[in-house]
Amino acid sequence: MEETITWGDFSKIDMRVGTVIAVYDFPEARNPSYKLEIDFGAEIGVRKTSAQITEKYKKEDIIGHQLIAVVNFPKKQIANFMSECLILGAVEKSSVVLIQPQMRVPNGLKIS
């Protein structure tokens, strides 16, 4: 287990539900990755991110799927691309399984 955090620390993390609206190859990335565009609803809008999920997911299989992402991290430069959020997944070595809501919910719904 990692370092213990406080409830105050946890409350600073803004996790939201978003729907994947576009997926692109990302050959410039160091590790096999996709570029994703995710719709987080009217309040947040569309954000871009990159994800090392090519081992378990095909591009066409994740379009339209909802997932969970942290939306209040600062932007991060990855190769020639600016990542604007961080999608969440269960990680085992290089294999990632995306965390998704069990039912369809409104985009932008806050996770707590």
89-98 pLDDT, tens digit each? 999 988 999 9
Domain ranges for the chain:
12-104
Count of positions (residues) in the chain: 112
Q: Please state whether beta strands 81-83 and 95-98 pair in parallel, antiparallel, or not at all (unpaired).
A: unpaired
The pLDDT confidence band at residue 99, using thresholds 50, 70 and 90, is very high
- pLDDT 10s digits, 19-52: 999 999 999 999 999 999 999 999 999 999 999 9
Q: What is the CATH number of domain 12-104?
A: 2.40.50.140
Taking residues 51-71, report their average pLDDT: 96
Contacts for 54-60 with beta carbons within 8 Å, 24 or more apart? Answer: 55/94, 55/95, 55/96, 56/95, 56/96, 56/97, 57/98, 59/23, 59/24, 59/25, 59/34, 60/23
CA distance from start to end of the chain: 20
pTM of the full predicted structure?
0.93
Q: Is the pLDDT of residue 1 over 90?
A: no
